[in-house]
Structure 1
């Protein structure tokens, strides 16, 4: 293809590309799309972030804490303490601290965490027991007689206020019910069947007990009058929100985030202990086969017999061997009297009769000294070798 042909082809391609772009421009319609990336890291770390922001918007100062260590520095007057975290590890001393703070004028709001046990007369919630309220399951309550004025919202909790035309509706968990056996409560809020919030005075302060605090988490806080109830309980105060009274230990955090490193560290510690461990004794070198001679076996056998059966067994074995050899050297030896046997042995071994009698006479039961035992054995071996 010549130069003019390439130019024509390029012009055609340019025209087609321009036409395609113009067509796409006419057909393309711009639009906006919102991509939901889920809760922010702050919201995931703080389940009551929306509640804090709502209170601040209504001029209620809010701080949150992770433990009760901040309580001594909080002035109870015009201050609210919201215990929304797990309290299973609260000690009696901490409970006294919280109640004394409330008695001095603070407002305390906490969640009942355990059911009342009729058999033991207590629950696993020490703070709830101290304020003398009980929590039970709503399904265990007796059915009420039918009400001619049926409740249109039996699953919502109603809070009635003075000079109000209608109650406030909040969405407490209706599975639980609060009881006041001592009639201490000054106010309460009920659903169609159960009670889910109670308020009672405590010294100069007040205590509010609720069956759950999930209604103040996102997104439930924006439903019904949930947010309003939170403001109502804490109006004209400063708020400290305690939602994590139980810190994760260092070991728990390490197990959660660095399990492989902990396994490697444990293996390293085991190997180090094995390496520097104290032995029970020095290592013995293997005995070369050249040293395993008959004499060593005989010595080991004699040492074993000496330990197990004593000196008499070894001496008697030598004496019996002497008498057996004498019978072979002198026929009829066993039929002779003892004195005559000693005479025969003296003649055969060329040893004095006195030495023969000392060697073959029965030994006393007492143990011989090492030197005396060695002399006795040597004397018997001399007699035996002479036969």
Structure 2
């Protein structure tokens, strides 16, 4: 019976699965879906990665470097050097090294990084100043470049080639303009707003100055003819992209090549500071072991109380001592009225009642003169000594 039941269940399951599979086969439609996960880590780390891949697809050899040390092994002939990184820390020696490489036959392409200053007659961009090209804001131009009639794209830069009927269109930033005051340029490219690219013959090589290189970053390289311009400027050369031209400081060079000397110098400075800060001169003599006399202690205590508490505490202490002695000589003294107390004290001390009254009068907050204070203390001491 059990075997028959299990066989029926298995047959039923096979029928259900078969019917489901047949239904899906007849009605299900396969399709493909692309999921965009965004730029790869390589693309996020290198904004010119698409430019590198484009040039390699066009048959150009592309390398990138992080310092000008590459010039020591990079032959000028047949090579292009693209300076796309920040160059504010470039030294004069490095600028000369780059231009000497271009003069020897290299193809140099760089971005103008600073504006020309008429007051100082320089921009601070060493490469730009040495090739005598000035950069300024387009809005400061007195006479913008002449626009073509019926120009449909005035904000795009036009690059004209021989034997070509239409220009190539490049999306340079129109906020900046390149000026050639000495008319050294062999070719240039303008938008309807300003000049954005200038090419110079430089010795056996060439120099190309751009207002910006954002046209070759992702995704701008896919717009207009931006990618074509990158290929055109580097045709028939091996391309080296240089992203970092910062030269190390003196301390960085010293630490790189002479770390032991710097550590020894730091130790010597520390020892010198320790020696300079040590105690100089004879030691102080120890305090004498002889003790002060009781009178000196009492005078010092009285001076301290007078400086910090005033005259009142000293006078009140003498008055309290007089009343304490009077209680021992005359039981019930504290229960008497003040006038009766003065009579008792006058009798016990053989002093006039007026003198007793004056000596025991309450201490006011008013400060007494030195003579009055001494006179009051003398009265109180005479009264106390008589008891």
TM-score range for the pair, normalised by the shorter chain length: 0.5 to 0.7
Farther-moved stretch of structure 1 (83-92 vs 229-238): 229-238
**SS in structure 2 of the partner of residue 244 of structure 1:** coil
Shift of 1:246: 3.8
Q: 1:220 and 2:250 equivalent?
A: no
Residue 40 of structure 1: CA displacement?
2.0
- Moved beyond 4 Å, runs of 4+: 6-27, 143-148, 277-281, 294-299
Using the TM superposition, give the Cα deviation of residue 229 of structure 1 relative to its aligned residue in structure 2, in angstroms. 1.3
Do 2:114 and 2:124's aligned partners in 1 also have CA atoms closer than 8 Å?
A: yes
- Cα pair 2:145 2:193 within 8 Å, conserved: no
TM-score w.r.t. length of structure 2: 0.59
**1:179 Cα offset (Å):** 0.6
Please name the residue that 1:207 is paired with: 207
Instruction: Give the equivalent residue in structure 1 for 2:30.
Output: 30
Q: Does 2:102 align with 1:102? A: yes
CA shift, 1:234, in A, is 1.3
1:198 Cα deviation from its structure 2 partner: 0.1
Q: Which residue of 2 aligns with 1:182?
A: 182
Q: Is the 8 A contact 1:112 1:211 kept in 2?
A: yes
Note if 1:171 corresponds to 2:171. yes
Equivalent residue pairs, number:
263
Range that drifts further, 80-89 or 11-20: 11-20
Alignment CA distance shift 1:167-1:298 (3 Å):
farther
Q: How far did 1:85 drift?
A: 0.7
Q: Cα distance 1:238–1:21, how it changes in 2: closer, same or farther (>3 A)?
A: closer
- 8 Å CA contact 1:103–1:202 kept in 2: the answer is yes
User: For the residues of structure 1 that align with 2:49 and 2:148, how far apart are their CA atoms?
Assistant: 42
CA deviations on 1:28-56 (whole Å, 9 max, x unpaired) are 43221111122222222222222222222
- Calculate the TM-score normalised by the size of structure 1: 0.59
Q: SS where residue 227 of structure 2 aligns?
A: helix
Give the SS at the match of 1:127: helix
Please report how far the alpha carbon of residue 23 of structure 1 lies from its aligned counterpart in structure 2 after TM superposition.
Answer: 5.2
SS in 1 for 2:173: coil
Q: Distance in 1 between matches of 2:204 and 2:197?
A: 20
CA distance in structure 2 between the aligned counterparts of 1:230 and 1:148, rounded to whole angstroms: 25
> Which residues in structure 2 correspond to 1:346-361 (within 5 Å)?
none
* Residues 66 and 247 in structure 1, CA contact (< 8 A), matched pair in contact too: no
In 2, the alpha carbon distance for the partners of 1:74 and 1:87 equals 20
Deviation at residue 24 of structure 1 after TM alignment: 5.5
CA deviations on 1:54-99 (whole Å, 9 max, x unpaired) are 2222222211100001112111112111101111111001001011
Residue in structure 1 matched with residue 153 of structure 2 by the alignment: 153
State the Cα distance separating 1:121 from its structure 2 match: 2.0
* Residue correspondence of structure 1 range 127-276 to structure 2 within 5 A: 127-142=127-142, 149-246=149-246
Aligned twin of 1:65: 65
- Secondary structure at the aligned position of 1:64 is classed as strand
Structure 1: runs of 5 or more not aligned? 250-276, 282-293, 306-387
Q: Does residue 124 of the first structure (1) align with residue 124 of the second (2)?
A: yes
RMSD: 3.7
